[in-house]
Amino acid sequence: MPSPAGASPAPHPLSSASTAGPVAGPATDRTASAPERADTAARSVRELFAGRALGVPGTLLGAPGHPRPRSRTAPWHYWWQAHLLDALVDAALRHRDEPARAEGIRREAHRLLRGITLRSGGRVTQNSYYDDMAWLLLAVGRLAALDRELTGRADVACLDAGRALLARIERGHTADLGGGVFWNTRHDVKNTASSAPAALAFVRTHRTDQARAVLGWLQENLWDPGRKVFHDGLVLVAAGSGSEVTRRDERLFSYNSGPVLGALLELADAPGTGADDRARLLGTAADVVAGAAEAYGRTVPGRRVLTTHGGGDGGLFSGILARYLAQAALHPDLAEPARRAAAELVTGTADALWAGRREADPATVPGRGGAPSARTGGAVAIFSPDPARPAEQAQRPGAPVELSTQVQAWTVLEAAARLERP
């Protein structure tokens, strides 16, 4: 996750100096449908990254990179796994008309949750970052809903994880600095990265008063009304000295707009939201879309795409934004210009990532041996971390591939598939 200035290295924030280049890609499968593209991304991520957590049967975890680190003490990136879980839920929902296939993906998602729990030392709350836990809570909540849809009942382990995560996040939501949610257990930063997914989680768990409070704090403290984007956070200076002051971290990251957008849309539709409040929330959501399109969009030949933030944690950021832009594009009561702008960014980014993918036989990808897996039916796709550059340039053959960038691409392609759904 991005860190306040002066802390550990953060992903690159956006720069207006970045330039777009031509997008080129494989000559085959350019006409694949959006669901077919999402299936390819899903197969490829599984083939290159999926494995047992600590070798334990019945578990799953995404390796942080390919080739996979040999050491079991290598960083495993809790919050990357949360977004991998979200992508699996996306895939299961997309195949809901194929019960056996959807059920197989649902079971895979539960193996991943068991893997996350195991790798966390047996407790999903064994994490110092409230934003990490908020992302996992959102994914676990969607998995619980998927369980009910496909099986008619909820999984106890899933519900227990959700309750534990929610309790931890509520502890990070305090009156300090006027409200909002702390970034980590040091309680020296409150930021959009933690407050936005927490607000969305509060809406989804029917804590609408808490959601409104967090959204109000974000708008009062971190919203830039001119650019219609959210700054990164408030940093406590000289914390614990008795004379604390704050400094606003004004860096911009694309993903910060995503869960705020989702929270606004879902709060607008929540029971008990009055007509005037609903109109206000939808109006703010339209502003967030407009700001995201301006701040985080760019033009490449033939399309508008999202700007990305490189690799590492930043490799996920614009995939997260795309998830919620798709939600905006599908909301029937959002202003038409906002819906159109959101859809354009999602489909343009998906088209660019697909056109710029690099295909490889799994047996020839560094770190893998043997014949191509029957699961994939042959080639895997490796996607560029930047939709404005093909993978042949941005992710050259032989270079390590990060899980974050490939889950980002998968998330974007799933978002585009939702827009294509009849």
Phi-psi region of 251 (alpha: psi -120 to 50; beta: other; left: phi over 0): beta
Q: What tens digit of pLDDT does each residue of 274-287 get?
A: 999 999 999 999 99
pLDDT surpasses 80 at 411: yes
Structural domain tally of the chain? 1
pLDDT surpasses 90 at 124: yes
Residues comprising the chain, all counted: 422
Q: Rounded to the nearest 5°, which phi and psi values hold at 211? A: -60, -45
pLDDT surpasses 90 at 156: yes
Residue 75's SS3 state is coil
Tell me the CATH number at 308.
1.50.10.20
Q: What tens digit of pLDDT does each residue of 63-121 get?
A: 999 998 887 778 999 999 999 999 999 999 999 999 999 999 999 999 999 999 999 99
Average pLDDT over residues 246-259: 96
Cα 323 from Cα 86, distance rounded (Å): 10
Cα 94 from Cα 166, distance rounded (Å): 27
**Global pTM?**
0.90
CB proximity list for 92: less than 8 A, separation 6 or greater: 102, 105, 106, 109, 146, 150
Identify the pLDDT of residue 422: 66
**288 within a domain of the structure (yes/no):** yes
Average pLDDT over residues 299-313: 96
**375 within a domain of the structure (yes/no):** yes
Identify the pLDDT of residue 116: 99
Identify the pLDDT of residue 398: 84
Query: What domain range is 246 assigned to?
Result: 34-420
Scanning the structure block, which residue is given the tokens 């109006």?
283
Identify the pLDDT of residue 72: 73
Question: In 3D, which of 110, 112, 90, 93 has the Cα closest to residue 102?
Answer: 93
Question: In 3D, which of 198, 332, 220 has the Cα closest to residue 265?
Answer: 332
Q: Rounded to the nearest 5°, which phi and psi values hold at 31? A: -95, 10
**208 within a domain of the structure (yes/no):** yes
**7 within a domain of the structure (yes/no):** no
**240 within a domain of the structure (yes/no):** yes
Identify the pLDDT of residue 349: 99
Question: In 3D, which of 68, 66, 62 has the Cα closest to residue 139?
Answer: 62
Asked if 235 contacts 188 with a C-beta cutoff of 8 angstroms, the reply is yes
Examine residue 362 and say whether the peptide bond preceding it is cis (omega within 30 degrees of 0): no
- What secondary structure does DSSP assign to 95-117, as a single string? TTTSHHHHHHHHHHHHHHHHHHH
Question: In 3D, which of 75, 92, 107, 95 has the Cα closest to residue 8?
Answer: 75
**20 within a domain of the structure (yes/no):** no
**24 within a domain of the structure (yes/no):** no
Residue 235's SS3 state is strand
Identify the pLDDT of residue 365: 62
Identify the pLDDT of residue 18: 35
**413 within a domain of the structure (yes/no):** yes
345-to-254, 321, 413 alpha-carbon distances in Å: 13, 10, 12
